[in-house]
């Protein structure tokens, strides 16, 4: 059914992670980020600079690592919230 949104249970977390991606020029970028919530299929991280929607990200912490695609990036105060859909 097109247009139907599936809502998933999200767990609030406060985990420091490293976020890596290639920018528009193909240059590898890495920054510290704070994962604010996560679910089975995604996560939301807070970063100091914008990440292009569609960018392929690698998220790494002491406990886990995963890859995914930036689905949104919106300004929140002086930082950006980036929604990530995990790769299967």
Tell me the mean pLDDT in the region 37-46: 95
Q: Where are the domains of the chain?
A: 11-86
Q: Is domain 11-86 given the CATH code 3.90.1720.10 in the classification?
A: no
pLDDT digits (tens, 9 = 90+) for 64-84: 999 999 999 999 999 999 999
Using alpha carbons only, what angle is made at residue 35 by residues 73 and 88, rounded to the nearest 5 degrees? 80
Residue 39 has pLDDT above 60, yes or no: yes
């Amino acid at each position: 059914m097109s247009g139907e949104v599936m809502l998933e249970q999200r767990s609030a977390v406060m985990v420091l992670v490293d976020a890596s991606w290639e920018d528009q020029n193909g240059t590898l970028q890495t920054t510290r980020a704070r994962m604010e919530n996560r679910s089975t299929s995604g996560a939301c991280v807070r970063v100091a600079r914008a990440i292009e929607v569609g960018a392929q990200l690698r998220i790494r912490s002491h406990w886990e690592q995963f890859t995914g695609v930036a689905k949104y990036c919106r300004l929140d105060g002086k930082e950006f919230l980036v929604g990530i859909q995990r790769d299967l």
